[in-house]
Amino acid sequence: FNDQYRDALIKGGMNAATAKGWVNTNAATSQTELDKIKGGIRGFTDFGNGTRIADPNKTVNYVTCHDNYTLYDRMGAAGVTGYFDKQSTAMLANSVILTSQGTTFILAGEEFLRTKGGDENSYQSSYKVNELDYSLKITYSKMFENYKKLIALKTTVDGLQYSTTQECASIQVTFNGSNQIVYEIKDTKANRTYKIIHNNGYKPETLPTMDLRGYTLYLDTRLTGTSSIELSQQTQFSAYQTVIVYKDN
């Protein structure tokens, strides 16, 4: 399990509950943490002691599991305020995970914003705390649909299923400042290239515009509003947003 990748994105495990990662930070992210994120996107497991397994077949990427907080509860514990921002940071975290190489692991219920009421370790808590309320798929239908599209991409596009170190190392991950991550994946079956853009909430006013003319929108994970991002010569982005576009080769 790629714990260092999780910690670079959201913190967790033995970190303080108030600790923040790239997803929910209010400060610039260090180069060391950005390198861990780059490695995680490429499907490499970093052990934090100078050693790394550069093999996507031996890497499991995740941000939450059955122990500790759900994503929504973790964001709240780390000091993210406002219902919308807690939703959006939770969505962003797994958007990065689901567009990374290696095996993806997701805690049941994250796709409809599961909460355990802030219970950090619920192994001996009540059924009520641990239950899965499937009616939330309707309450958070936009989030549920986002997950469906992310999972479809992960499971059908061969460019997200690399099996060799060389293939994974070829992925060019760019950081625009420390608040935007950009990389591309190939779908050889459809002869298509996807561009993936992740934006966190650190200084969203400095997010660079991007020329996305000629691309088609696959996914805009924003959870508010009725319209998706407008692709143009100067495409503008929002905080806590993943945008996936594609162009046929």
pLDDT tens, position by position, 219-233: 999 998 777 899 999
Q: What is the pLDDT of residue 24?
A: 96
Rounded CA-CA distance 221/233 in Å is 21
Q: Is the pTM of this model over 0.95?
A: yes
Q: What is the pLDDT of residue 48?
A: 81
Rounded CA-CA distance 10/20 in Å is 6
pLDDT tens, position by position, 86-107: 999 999 999 999 999 999 999 9
Rounded CA-CA distance 20/36 in Å is 15
What's the farthest any 2 CA atoms get from each other in the chain? 54
Rounded CA-CA distance 92/240 in Å is 6
DSSP, collapsed to helix, strand or coil, labels residue 186 as strand
Rounded CA-CA distance 217/194 in Å is 10
pLDDT tens, position by position, 17-64: 999 999 999 999 999 999 999 999 999 999 888 788 999 999 999 999
Q: What is the pLDDT of residue 188?
A: 96
Q: Please check the confidence at residue 132 and state whether its pLDDT lies above 80.
A: yes
Count of CB atoms within 10 A of residue 235's CB? 18
Half-sphere exposure of 91 (CA within 13 A, CB side): 32
Rounded CA-CA distance 30/126 in Å is 40
Rounded CA-CA distance 140/145 in Å is 9
Query: CA 50, 56, 62: angle at the middle one, nearest 5?
Result: 80
